[in-house]
């Protein structure tokens, strides 16, 4: 078992049970997933900035990031719907605890 999972199961679970007066261990919330995202404001003018952000997220998490796109157009930011503006990675299960 890795350090983060062991620490959560021992220290964090006990502290949450005391703080919120849980009667059972099953009432304590569990870590299901971790989402790491990065919004890149300069990606509108320069697409290479977004490529750097994708590489950095990949180095941090060990997974290939998903490029996120704008949902709405915003004229003041010169942003159009569907333009790539960020990146995100979702870590689940063992990947969540190993990172």
Tell me, yes or no, whether 75 and 92 share the same domain: yes
The answer to whether residues 58 and 22 belong to one domain is no
pLDDT at residue 1, as a whole number: 60
pLDDT on residue 64: 94
Q: Which residues contact 58 (CB under 8 A, 6 or more apart)?
A: 64, 65, 89
Q: What is the pLDDT of residue 89?
A: 95
Which CATH number fits the domain that encloses residue 61? Answer: 3.30.1440.10
Structural domain span for residue 14: 1-30
Claim to verify: residue 37 and residue 79 sit in the same structural domain: yes
Q: Show pLDDT as tens, one digit a residue, over the chain (99 residues).
A: 688 888 888 899 999 999 999 999 999 998 889 999 998 887 777 778 888 999 999 999 999 999 998 888 888 778 788 888 899 999 998 887 775
Residue 73 pLDDT? 84
Give the integer Cα–Cα distance in Å for 4 and 39: 27
């Amino acid at each position: 078992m890795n350090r983060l999972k062991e620490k959560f199961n021992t220290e964090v679970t006990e502290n949450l049970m005391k703080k919120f007066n849980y009667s059972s261990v099953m009432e304590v919330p569990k870590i299901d997933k971790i989402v790491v995202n990065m919004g890149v404001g300069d990606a509108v003018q320069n697409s290479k900035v977004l490529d750097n952000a994708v590489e950095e997220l990949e180095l941090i998490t060990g997974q290939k990031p998903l490029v996120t796109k704008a949902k709405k157009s915003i004229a003041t930011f010169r942003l159009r719907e569907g333009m790539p503006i960020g990146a995100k990675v979702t870590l689940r299960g063992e990947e969540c605890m190993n990172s």
